[in-house]
Amino acid sequence: MAKAIRQIERIESNVKEERAEDLSAILNKIADNREAIEEAIEIIEELHNAEVLPALKAILKTRQKVGAIAIEQINQPGMHNVIKNAMTMFTLLASIDSAQLQQLAGGLTEGVEKASESTKQTEDASLWSLLKATKDPNVKRSLNMMINFLNGMGEGLAKKQSH
Partner 1 sequence: MGDTSFTLKVNDSNITAKKGQSILEAALENDVYIPGICSSQPDLGIGVIQTCDTCYVEVNGELMRACSTDAQPDMVVNSVSGVAKEAQLEGMSRILKNHELYCTVCDNNNGNCVVHNTAEYLEIEHQKYEFQAKPYPPDTSHPFYRYEPDQFILCGLCVEACQDLQVSEVLSIDWEREQPRVIWDDDVPIDESSCVSCGHCVTVCPCNALMEKTMLGKAGFLTGMAKNMLEPMIDLTKEVEPGYKEIFAISNVEATMREDRIQKTKTVCTYCGVGCSFEVWTKGRDILRVQPKEDAPVNGISTCVKGKFGWDFVNSEERLTKPLIRKGDKFHEATWEEALNLMAEKFQSIKEKDGADALGFISSSKCSNEENYLFQKLARSVFQTNNIDNCSRYCQTPASAGLMRTVGIGGDSGTIEDIAVADLIMVVGANPAESHPVLSTRIRRAHKLNGQKLLVSDLRKHDLAERADLFIHPNPGTDLVWLSAVTKYILDQGWEDAKFLQDRVNQVEDYKKSLEKFTLEYAEKVTGLAKDTLIQVAEMIHESNGTCILWAMGVTQHMGGTDTSTAISNLLLVTGNYGKPGAGAFPLRGHNNVQGASDFGTMPNWLPGYEPVENDEVRSKYEQAWNTTIPKKPGLNNHQIVEAITDGRVKGMYLFGEEMGLVDSNINYVHEAFEKLEFFVVQDIFFSKTAEFADVVLPAAPSLEKEGTFTNTERRIQRFHQVLEPLGDSKPDWEIFRDFANKLGADWKYSHPSEIMDEAAQLAPIFAGVKYDRMEGWDSQIWPVKPNGESTPLLYKDKFKFLDGKARLFPVDWTPPMKYEDEFDLHLNNGRLLEQFHEGNMTDRSEGIHHIVPGPWLEVSMELAKERNIETGSLVRLISPYGKVKIRVLVTDRVTGKELYLPMNTADGEKAVNKLTSSYYDKDTHTPNYKEAKVKMDLLEQKGESPLPQHNFRFGNPQPHIGVEVEKKWKRADFTPIPETLKSEGVYNGQSDQAN
- Site residues for partner 1, 11-40, by CB under 8 A, read 11, 14
Q: Binding to partner 1 by residue 72, rule CB under 8 A?
A: yes
Q: Which is nearer to partner 1, 5 or 31 (CB)?
A: 5
C-alpha 9/C-alpha 122 separation (Å) is 103
* 9 φ/ψ angles, rounded to the nearest 5 degrees: -95, 115
Q: Which is nearer to partner 1, 31 or 94 (by Cβ)?
A: 94
Residue 25 CA to residue 29 CA, distance in Å, equals: 7
CB of 80 to partner 1, least distance (A): 5
Q: Which one, 83 or 153, has the nearer CB to partner 1? A: 83
Residues of span 41-70 touching partner 1 by CB under 8 A? 64, 67-68
* All residues at 6 or more sequence positions from 79 whose CB lies less than 8 Å from its CB, including other chains: 73
Least separation in angstroms between residue 47's CB and partner 1 is 23
User: What is the helix (H) or strand (E) element at residue 27, kind and residue range?
Assistant: helix 13-32
Total residues binding partner 1 (CB under 8 A): 25
Tell me the CA distances in angstroms from 47 to 5, 53, 55, 66, one per residue in order: 58, 6, 10, 21
Enumerate binding residues for partner 1 (CB under 8 A).
1-11, 14, 64, 67-68, 71-72, 74-75, 80, 83-84, 87-88, 91
